[in-house]
C-alpha cells in the first residue's frame, strides 16, 4: 500500500488543482491528486482543429468589468492569455428563417422583449408562490410556438439568463465576457497553477503526487480516515479526501461509498439538474458567412427548439481559420452524441444551406465533444433550479465525515463557471485545513492528559 497522505484530492480540474495549491501553500506537502483521465484540466480542454486551438469545454471568462475583479480574469491577465470580447447583444438581429431571410430587426427586438417580459412575469409568479424547486432554465416561460419564439427562448434560457434574473457572476464581476483565443488554451492557466506547487520540467508535470489514469471507484470512510480504491486495483489511504468529480459523476455509479452516503446527501445530489452543452466545430475551405461588426453570432430559427440554433464564427478569435461553431444543449446534445459525426455534419450542412444557399461548400472537418457520454464528466455543468433556497447546494457541498466535496457545483454564487470551480476549490481546502487544526488541537489535549 502507498504511504498514508494527509489529503487525497480526486480530480485535477480547476477546483481540484486550486484546492491542492492552497493545501500545498499551507504546508501540506504529502497531498496526493488522483485523476481519472490522462491529463489535467477536466472541463477546461483545448484541442487542435484545423490550424488552431479550439476549446471543447469552457471557452469564456465570464464576468469582467464590474465592481469586483474576477479571479480567473486576473490570473489570465497576469499570464497574458489572449482573449476576445464577445458581444452577444447583436445575435438577436441575425436571426435567419429556414429560407435564409433575416428577420427584420423590429420583429426580432419585439419578440425578444416579449420573451424577456414573459420570463420575468413567470419568475415573479413562481417567487410569490414560493415554488421551491422543479423548475429549470428551460421550462418556466410561457410556451413559445413559432420558430423565432423558440429560437429566442433558446438563446435567452440556455445562454443569457442575466436579463431575467440577477446572476452573481455578472452582478459581482461585470457583464462582459471574453472568449479565450490562445494557442496554449484556457488550460494553460491550470498548467501554470500546477507549476506553482508541483515539480515540472519543460512544461511537463513530473511530480509523483499527481497520478493520472487513476479512476477512483470506492471510498471507504470512517472516523479515522479514508481508504481510496482505484479501478486498477491500487489502494490509497488518507486522513481526508477532497472529491471534485462533477455533479453528473456523483449522480452516476462510478464511485461507491462505504458506508453509503446519507439520504440527505444523495437526495440533494439527485435534485440538481445537469446541463449538457455541446460546441460543435466545423471547418470550411473558405468563409461564406457575413463577418464584421455585429455579425459574430447568428441564430437559426427552426420549428424544433434548440435544433442547430446558436452559431458563432471564429474570424474574430482566429482570422482566416474558416471555422464555425454551433452550440447544442441537453436533449439535442445527447442525440448528437449518440450518432456518427458524419450524420451530424450532414444535418449541420442542411441547416447552413437553409441560411446561406445551396452553393456553399461542405465542411471539410467536424469536431463533436461528448461530455455526456464521458464517464468522468456526465454533464457540462450543474444547473440549479431557478427558485430554490440554498439548502440543495449546501447539502451537496457539506462534508460527510472525512470526505469533502468541491467543484463548480458546490459554489453557491458561481456554479457552472470556471471561477466557481476555482473559488470552490479554495473554500474547500480551507475547510479541510480547519478540520486538520481541530484534529491537532485534540491530539495535543490528549497528549497533555496522558
Ligand atoms: P472538472 O473540470 O470536471 O474536474 C473534475 C476532474 O475529476 C476531471 O478532471 C475528471 O476527469 C476527474 N474525475 C471524475 N471522476 C473521477 C474519478 N472517479 N476518479 C478520479 N478522477 C475523476 N465555464 C466558464 O466559466 N465559461 C464558459 O464559457 C464555460 N463553458 C463551458 C462549456 C462546456 C462545453 C463545458 C463542459 C463547461 C463550460 N464551463 C464554462 C464550465 C466550466 O468548464 C466548469 O465549471 C469547470 O471547468 C469545472 O471545474 P471542476 O474542477 O469543478 O470540474
Place of cell 477512483: 216
How do residues 168-193 score in pLDDT, each as one tens digit?
999 999 999 999 999 999 999 999 99
| Element at 437 (helix H, strand E) | helix 418-449
In this structure, are residues 65 and 73 in contact, taking their beta carbons and an 8 Å threshold?
Answer: no
Pick from 16, 33, 42 the residue to mutate for probing ligand 1's pocket: most ligand atoms within 8 Å of its CB.
42
Q: Which range among 157-171, 250-264, 372-386, 419-433 shows the weakest confidence by mean pLDDT?
A: 157-171
Average pLDDT over residues 341-363: 98
As a whole number, mean pLDDT of residues 300-308 equals 97
Give the mean model confidence (pLDDT) for residues 31-42.
98
Strands 210-211 and 32-34: parallel
Residue 86 predicted with pLDDT over 60 = yes
Which pLDDT does position 10 carry in this prediction?
98
**Pocket (CB within 6 angstroms of ligand 1):** 10-16, 34-37, 42-44, 57-60, 62, 214-216, 244-246, 249, 254-255, 277, 279, 371, 376-377, 380-381, 407-408, 416-418, 420-421
- The per-residue pLDDT for range 133-159, each reduced to its tens digit, is 444 444 444 577 899 999 998 988 887
Cα(58) to centroid(ligand 1), Å: 8
d(CA 409, CA 415): 5
Per-residue pLDDT, 93:
92
DSSP string for residues in 113-172: HHHHHHHHHHHHHHHHTT--SS--TTSSSPPP-SHHHHHHHHHHHHT-GGGTS--HHHHH
Residue 134, pLDDT score: 44
- Give residue for cell 437559426: 300
* 326, three cell numbers: 454551433
Quote the pLDDT of residue 139: 47
The pLDDT tens digits of the residues spanning 221-249 come to 999 999 999 999 999 999 999 999 999 99
Give me the pLDDT at residue 130, please: 53
The model's pLDDT over 262-286, given as tens digits with 9 standing for 90+, comes to 999 999 999 999 999 999 999 999 9
Average pLDDT over residues 82-92: 92
Report CA-CA distances (Å) from 49 to 159, 288, 312, 370, 419.
24, 19, 16, 16, 26
Q: Which of 144-153, 289-298, 440-449 has the highest mean pLDDT?
A: 289-298
pLDDT, position 76:
98
Q: Which of 364, 357, 355 is nearest to 307 (CA)?
A: 355
Of 280, 309, 275, give the one whose Cα is nearest residue 138.
Answer: 275
* Residue given cell 497520478 in the structure block: 211
What are 376-396's pLDDT values in tens digits? 999 999 998 766 678 999 999
pLDDT band at 83 (very low <50, low <70, confident <90, very high): very high
Whether residue 97 is predicted with pLDDT greater than 80 in this model: the reply is yes
Phi-psi region of 449 (alpha: psi -120 to 50; beta: other; left: phi over 0): alpha
Share of the chain above pLDDT 90, in %: 81
pTM (predicted TM-score): 0.95
DSSP H or E segment with residue 17: helix 14-25
Nearest CA-CA partner of 310 in 321, 289, 296:
296
pLDDT band for position 203 (50/70/90)?
confident
pLDDT (0 to 100) of residue 387: 63
Cα(356) to ligand 1 centroid in Å equals 35
| Residue written as grid cell 500545498 | 24
Question: What is the chain's Cα-based Rg?
Answer: 23
Among the atoms of ligand 1, which is closest to the Cα of residue 11? 7
Nearest CA to ligand 1 atom 39: 58
Omega within 30 of 0 (cis) for the link into 282? no
**Residue, of 90 and 231, whose pLDDT is higher:** 231
Torsion of CA 438, 440, 445, 449, to 10 degrees: 140
* Span from the CA of 277 to the centroid of ligand 1 (angstroms): 12
- What pLDDT sits at residue 162? 66
- Give the residue, out of 8, 11, 169, 230, with the most ligand 1 atoms within 8 A of its beta carbon, to mutate for a pocket test: 11
Indicate the annotated binding residues. Answer: 15, 35-36, 216
Q: What is the mean pLDDT of the chain?
A: 93
Q: pLDDT tens digits, residue range 55-80?
A: 999 999 999 999 999 999 999 999 99
Amino acid at each position: 500500500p502507498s504511504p498514508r497522505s494527509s489529503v487525497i484530492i480526486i480530480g485535477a480540474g480547476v477546483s481540484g488543482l486550486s484546492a491542492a495549491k492552497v493545501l500545498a501553500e499551507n504546508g501540506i506537502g504529502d497531498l496526493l491528486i488522483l485523476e481519472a483521465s490522462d491529463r489535467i484540466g477536466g472541463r477546461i480542454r483545448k484541442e487542435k482543429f484545423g490550424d488552431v486551438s479550439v476549446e471543447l469545454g469552457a471557452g469564456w471568462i465570464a464576468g469582467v468589468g464590474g465592481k469586483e475583479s474576477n479571479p480567473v480574469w486576473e490570473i489570465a491577465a497576469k499570464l497574458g492569455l489572449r482573449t476576445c470580447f464577445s458581444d452577444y447583444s447583436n445575435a438577436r438581429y441575425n436571426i435567419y428563417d429556414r429560407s435564409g431571410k433575416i428577420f427584420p430587426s423590429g420583429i426580432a427586438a419585439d419578440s425578444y422583449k416579449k420573451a424577456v417580459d414573459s420570463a420575468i412575469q413567470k419568475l415573479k409568479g413562481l417567487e410569490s408562490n414560493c415554488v421551491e424547486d422543479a423548475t429549470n432554465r428551460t421550462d418556466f416561460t410561457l410556451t413559445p410556438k413559432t420558430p423565432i419564439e423558440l429560437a429566442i427562448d433558446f438563446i435567452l434560457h440556455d445562454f443569457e439568463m442575466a436579463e431575467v434574473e440577477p446572476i452573481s457572476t455578472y452582478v459581482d464581476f461585470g457583464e462582459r465576457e471574453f472568449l479565450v483565443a490562445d494557442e496554449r488554451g484556457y488550460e494553460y492557466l491550470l498548467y501554470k497553477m500546477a507549476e506553482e506547487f508541483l515539480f515540472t520540467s519543460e512544461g511537463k508535470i513530473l511530480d509523483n503526487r499527481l497520478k493520472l489514469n487513476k479512476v477512483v471507484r470506492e471510498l471507504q470512510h470512517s472516523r479515522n480516515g479514508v481508504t481510496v480504491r482505484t479501478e486498477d486495483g491500487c489502494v490509497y489511504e488518507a486522513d481526508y479526501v477532497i472529491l471534485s468529480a462533477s455533479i453528473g459523476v456523483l449522480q452516476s455509479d462510478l464511485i461507491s461509498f462505504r458506508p453509503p452516503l446519507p439520504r440527505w446527501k444523495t437526495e440533494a445530489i439527485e435534485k440538481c439538474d445537469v446541463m449538457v452543452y455541446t460546441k460543435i466545430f466545423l471547418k470550411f475551405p473558405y468563409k461564406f458567412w457575413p463577418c464584421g461588426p455585429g455579425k459574430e453570432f447568428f441564430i437559426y430559427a427552426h420549428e424544433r427548439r434548440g435544433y442547430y440554433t446558436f452559431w458563432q464564427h471564429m474570424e474574430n478569435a482566429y482570422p482566416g481559420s474558416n471555422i464555425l461553431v454551433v452550440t447544442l444543449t441537453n436533449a439535442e446534445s445527447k442525440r448528437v452524441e449518440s450518432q456518427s459525426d458524419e450524420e451530424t455534419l450532414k444535418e449541420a450542412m442542411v441547416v447552413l444551406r437553409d441560411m446561406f444557399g445551396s452553393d456553399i461548400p461542405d465542411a471539410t472537418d467536424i469536431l463533436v465533444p461528448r461530455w455526456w457520454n464521458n464517464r468522468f464528466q456526465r454533464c457540462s455543468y450543474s444547473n440549479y433550479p431557478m427558485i430554490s433556497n440554498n439548502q440543495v447546494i449546501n447539502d451537496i457541498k457539506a462534508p460527510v465525515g472525512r470526505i469533502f466535496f468541491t467543484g463548480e457545483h458546490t459554489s453557491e454564487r458561481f456554479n457552472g463557471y470556471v471561477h466557481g470551480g476555482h473559488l470552490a476549490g479554495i473554500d474547500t481546502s480551507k475547510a479541510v485545513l480547519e478540520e486538520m487544526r481541530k484534529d491537532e488541537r485534540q491530539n495535543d489535549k490528549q497528549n497533555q492528559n496522558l
